[in-house]
Amino acid sequence: MENKYKAGSYDVVVVGAGHAGCEAGLAASRLGLKTLILTTSMESIADMPCNPNIGGTGKGHIVREIDAMGGQMALNIDKTFIQSRMLNTSKGPAVHSLRVQADKRLYHEEMKKTLEKEVDLFEQEVDKINYEDGKIVSCETVEGAIFETKALIICTGTYLNGKILIGEYEKISGPHGLSAATYLSDS
């Protein structure tokens, strides 16, 4: 791209703003590191495209671990839940599992507010990672923004080369018709 420009310098750049990207960005920032989260869409921050629940049999253990380390997911669901239910109550306590259904829109809005207070956010697709002497030095967006960084955390989730498959029909897309991240994997 001809119109490249230096857009900033960060200790940590996180690519993707789903659950993992939000938690990674907040963790880095809370350690005192200047942190940027890049997303293809501000509307996809903390999106729940598949399942509007936090917790459950598998995910509940991860949520508790993130919470124990000072994460935001459990705090955010406490602010935005519609209902909660303890699963597997007919079995022993070792398999009891809390599942909490979120108001998807409110969950997104609350997490975005939290991020805006603690990290920088930028809406563009990352298409290239730059290295010098085997170390990451920056990443670039499809529109030419270059962000210098000491560390890069990739949390692209279902957006990286995302496809919608319906029978034989195939379309390149992220969840909810948002664009897929189609260039980064080439880097």
Domain ranges for the chain: 5-52+103-158
- Residue 11 banded pLDDT, cuts 50, 70, 90: very high
Largest CA distance in the chain: 63
Amino acid, res. 177: G
In CATH, what is the architecture of 5-52+103-158?
A: 3-Layer(bba) Sandwich (3.50)
35 pLDDT more than 90: yes
Helical spans, DSSP H, in 35-127: 59-68, 73-80, 104-118
pLDDT in tens, 107-160: 999 999 999 999 999 999 999 999 999 999 999 999 999 999 999 999 988 777
Range name among 79-83, 94-98, 173-177 with the lowest pLDDT average: 173-177
Q: What integer best gives the mean pLDDT of the chain?
A: 92
